[in-house]
Amino acid sequence: MKFPAARPKGKYILRLFVAGATARSRQAVVRIRALCEAELKGRCTLEVIDIYQQPALARENQIVATPTLIKLLPRPARRFIGNLTDLNGLFGECDLLIPGKAAL
């Protein structure tokens, strides 16, 4: 996995792996985009990867279940696998704590 050499302070790089256009995949995309817009305002780059269309990326990132969210930056990298409706779990597992905000 390659990381950018430099990044703006406070910038988040997220990868969301989904499996096709299922309701669960669509829900995960909507949920994470809403999180990026509401909580990470302008500090988030989100890449959505369909494992059926890009199986090599799924293998490279060792994706065994979907949806899987990977926070690449800031380091350390973190993974959240499964139901993305639990924002407390998502914030804790992926270390997405926003300065000055308490967990939901």
- Residue 80 contacts residue 94 (beta carbons within 8 Å): yes
Sign of the dihedral through C-alpha 86, 91, 93, 94: positive
Paired with 16 in beta bridges are 48, 69
Measured CA to CA, the distance from residue 63 to residue 41 in angstroms comes to: 27
Q: Give pTM, 2 decimals.
A: 0.77
| Backbone CA torsion sign across 65, 22, 46, 86 | negative
Question: pLDDT tens per residue, the chain (104 residues)?
Answer: 444 444 345 799 999 999 999 999 999 999 999 888 888 888 999 999 999 999 999 999 999 999 999 999 999 999 988 877 766 666 665 566 554 454 43
Helices (H) and strands (E) in the chain, counts: 3, 4
